[in-house]
């Protein structure tokens, strides 16, 4: 484990906080990986797993996006009590689902809810340090929960290799964009490429459903990248 410090906490959406973490030791990860995050809570050492959202090209810090959901004591602590300057510990990067430069000419990132976290790391990494094309297909329950929306839209305007399709599944009040879950039609709109890498992250039901959808679109299993967290 590596000692680290929380240097920034931001309420990014009604249910998601972003954290900036500065490790106090050698730390490296690949785009799309996650860490074990340790915090001392009421005298006990507790752990939770969170995906990095920042590009591994960033040095000296990394970012997390943590949704206020579930009963994990670390997540509850982050949303109720955590403070900037707090000492924590991290271990990682972990996980076999990641992207490295040159792995594909085209990447499609399918994200539901907070499943956008590891995909944002990949999206940023490709935009900054790779030559691949990348399309982020991202659904959230409401427009207010579309974390990173402004950055995503700015990136797609300034970088012709980057594309994003955003959709809202539940509360579409005031939203003028796409409505509905990620389905075959939205993936076709993103562009079906049987040689692309397709990354999927979200609730298990969504992952299973999208694996089936991709198969019907002619995408082979070896082109898919996902792991089941929940």
Domains in the chain (CATH in brackets) are 2-94 (2.40.30.10), 106-225 (3.40.50.80)
224-225 and 197-201: which strand pairing?
parallel
Q: What percentage of the chain exceeds 70 in pLDDT? A: 99
Q: Given this model, what pLDDT does residue 35 score? A: 97
Per-residue pLDDT at 55 exceeds 80: yes
Supply the mean pLDDT for the chain. 95
User: What is the pLDDT, as a whole number, of residue 171?
Assistant: 80
11-15, 70-74, 150-154: which has the minimum mean pLDDT? 70-74
Tokens, residue 87: 């000492």
Which whole number is the average pLDDT over 193-201?
A: 96
pLDDT over 90 (residue 143): yes
pLDDT at residue 6 tops 80: yes
CA distance 9 to 65: 10
Separation of alpha carbons 11 and 19, rounded Å: 9
Banded pLDDT at 173 (limits 50, 70, 90): confident
| CA distance to 2, 28, 47, 54, 59, per residue, from 90 (Å) | 5, 11, 9, 15, 16
pLDDT of residue 140: 96
């Amino acid at each position: 484990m590596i000692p680290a410090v929380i240097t920034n906490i931001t309420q990014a959406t009604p249910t998601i906080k972003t954290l900036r973490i500065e490790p106090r030791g050698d730390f490296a990860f690949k785009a799309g990986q996650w860490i074990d995050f340790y915090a001392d809570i009421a005298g006990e050492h507790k752990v939770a797993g969170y995906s990095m959202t920042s590009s591994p090209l960033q040095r000296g810090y990394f970012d997390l996006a943590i949704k206020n959901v579930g009963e994990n004591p670390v997540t509850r602590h982050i949303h109720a009590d955590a403070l900037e300057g707090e000492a924590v510990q991290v271990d990682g990067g972990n996980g076999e689902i990641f992207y490295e430069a040159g792995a594909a000419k085209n990447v499609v990132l399918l994200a539901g809810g907070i499943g956008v976290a590891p995909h944002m790391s990949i999206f940023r990494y490709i935009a900054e340090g790779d030559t691949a094309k990348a399309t982020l297909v991202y659904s959230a329950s409401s427009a207010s929960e579309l974390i990173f929306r402004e950055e995503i839209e700015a990136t797609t305007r300034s970088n012709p290799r980057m594309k994003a399709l955003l959709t809202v599944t539940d509360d579409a009040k005031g939203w003028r964009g796409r409505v509905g879950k990620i389905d075959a039609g939205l993936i076709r709109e993103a562009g079906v490429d049987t040689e692309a890498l397709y990354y999927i992250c979200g609730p298990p039901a969504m992952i299973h459903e999208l694996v089936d959808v991709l198969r019907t679109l002619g995408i082979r299993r070896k082109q898919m990248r996902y792991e089941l967290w929940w």
